[in-house]
Structure formats: C-alpha cells, structure tokens
Amino acid sequence: RRAVGESRAKSALQESERQLSTLISNLPGMVYRARNEPGWPMEFVSDGARELVGYDAETIESGEVMWGSLIDEADADRIGPQVQASIRAGEPFEVSYRVRTADGERRWLWERGRVVDSVRTSPARPDGPGGSVDDVELLEGFITDITARKERERELEREREFTESLVDTLGDVFYLVNLDGELLRWNDTATAVLGYSEEELSTMTAFDLIPEPFHADVTETIERTVQTGQSTLEAPLVTSDGERIRHE
C-alpha cells in the first residue's frame, strides 16, 4: 500500500511538472527567478529568453550575460528604486524598460515580479552589515515584449500632436464638448477671439459662451448631431468683455 501510494504521488507530481512546463513554454515571454542583487543575477530563466533577447537560458543563468547589463542605463536608474520600493512594501512590482538584444536590436519589455523567498549568503552584500551573513531576496516573475505596443503608442502620440497643431492653426473658433456641453478642448483662436484665459475656459461650458435665449436651440442641435452625424446652428458667442459675435 505504501509503494502504491508513493507511486501515485510521484505520478501526480510528474503530471503537475509536465503541465507547468507546457504552460511556461507557451507563454509569450520569459519566466525567471532572480536574486535581488546588482545586475539581477538569474538563477532560472525559461526557454523564452532566446526569443526575447537573443541569449539562451544557459548563458543568462551562468552569469556570462547579466540581465542587468541588457537594460538601458537610464531605464535601470528609473526602475531600480521602483522595484526596491515595492519589495520593501511586500507588494508585486510592474516595470517597463528598454533592452538591447544579442543582435543589437532595441526592444521594450514589461516585467511583473515579486519576492518569493530569501536565501542566506556569505560574505555579506556591500550594503549589508559589515562582515556578517546577509539575506538576499529571491524574485520570481514574468517578462514579455511590448515593443509593438510602444510603437503604437508613439504613433498615436504623433497623430495627437499633429491634430492639435492643425486645430491650433485654424483661423476659426474650435472647441470640443461632451453631451452636457462641457468644454473638453479648444484652439488658440478661441482664446484669442473670445478673450477668456485657458483657466477660465476649463471651468466653462458651451452654454456659458452662448446667450440664454439660444440654449434650447443649442440643446436641439446637439441632439440632432448625435442622431444624424452633423448639424449647424447660427448663434452669437459672448466674449469676456460682453461683446456678442455672430458665429455658425
């Protein structure tokens, strides 16, 4: 009975390890275990490392290539304090940074990890008590490539900057409102023609710019625009000094 029980436990453990191995191999990135030390020495990395940075698992685990040496220096200075702050708080950390791969390509990576254990090491780390045995946290986590997402974000940012530049060069008053008439965006011409400051416009609605007798028409025009896609209305806009300028 004992032999049968041990055999079943061994089979269950092997099946669990097989499932875990299959899961790790199918992940779009790299699973790792690292020591919380300078250079982020890796005790284990999955086979996804080669596709991620061009180095195989053995090269990284042996220390021949330190993970920290692949990280952009400016990003390393930025994420280091973030990671340590999360570790001190006992929380998982999430960071994004750039790396240089084995063939010189620059990629953006996203990493999530946390402390899972600690080990004794001797001699002590440089920042530990002089000459004493010190504890080093063990980190486990997952790293994946987000280069494509970063490129899309940069493209969207360029498009946004282009659109804002285009809007600001319009010679006509332009403003964007929500369905309640709240001002969301306006161009430089609006501030120049109407005389309100950026701060003043940020607290106003379209109804503050249009005399009250026209408010019902504005509401109707907004509703018609939502239904049909476009609509027009002629009404005066009130400047900061009370002048009314007829606009479409």
Q: In this predicted model, what pLDDT tens digit does every residue of 31-69 receive, in sequence order? A: 999 999 999 999 999 988 999 999 999 999 999 999 999
Task: Give residue 170's pLDDT.
Answer: 83
Other C-beta atoms closer than 10 Å to the C-beta of 137 total 16
Q: What's the rounded Cα separation, in Å, for the pair 51 and 233?
A: 58
Task: Give residue 4's pLDDT.
Answer: 72
Task: Give residue 97's pLDDT.
Answer: 96
> CA 88, 90, 122: angle at the middle one, nearest 5?
60
Q: How many residues does the chain have?
A: 248
Helix residue ranges, H only, the chain: 2-26, 48-53, 57-61, 67-70, 73-88, 147-169, 188-194, 198-201, 206-209, 215-228
Task: Give residue 206's pLDDT.
Answer: 87
Task: Give residue 136's pLDDT.
Answer: 86
Task: Give residue 135's pLDDT.
Answer: 81
Q: Which residue has the higher pLDDT, 6 or 116?
A: 116
- Of 98, 105, 103, the C-alpha closest to 71 is 98
Sequence-distant (≥ 6) Cβ neighbours of residue 34 within 8 angstroms: 40, 41, 42, 43, 67, 113, 138, 139, 140, 141
Q: What's the rounded Cα separation, in Å, for the pair 84 and 79?
A: 9
| DSSP assignment letter at 182 | B
114 φ, ψ (degrees, to nearest 5): -160, 165
pTM tops 0.85, yes or no? no
Query: Could you report how far apart the first and last alpha carbons of the chain are, in Å?
Result: 90
pLDDT band at 22 (very low <50, low <70, confident <90, very high): low
Task: Give residue 15's pLDDT.
Answer: 59
Q: Is the peptide bond before 123 cis (omega within 30 degrees of 0)?
A: yes
Highest mean pLDDT range out of 23-32, 128-137, 217-226? 217-226
Task: Give residue 27's pLDDT.
Answer: 62
Q: Which residue has the higher pLDDT, 225 or 23?
A: 225
Q: What's the rounded Cα separation, in Å, for the pair 116 and 141?
A: 10
| DSSP assignment letter at 10 | H
Task: Give residue 240's pLDDT.
Answer: 93
Q: Is 165 exposed, middle or buried (0-12, 13-18, 19+ CB in 10 A)?
A: exposed
Task: Give residue 25's pLDDT.
Answer: 61
Dihedral, CA of residue 65, residue 68, residue 73 and residue 79, to nearest 10: 160
- Of 108, 110, 117, 109, the C-alpha closest to 140 is 117
Over residues 171-221, the pLDDT tens digits come to 899 988 888 888 998 999 999 999 999 999 989 998 999 999 999 998 899
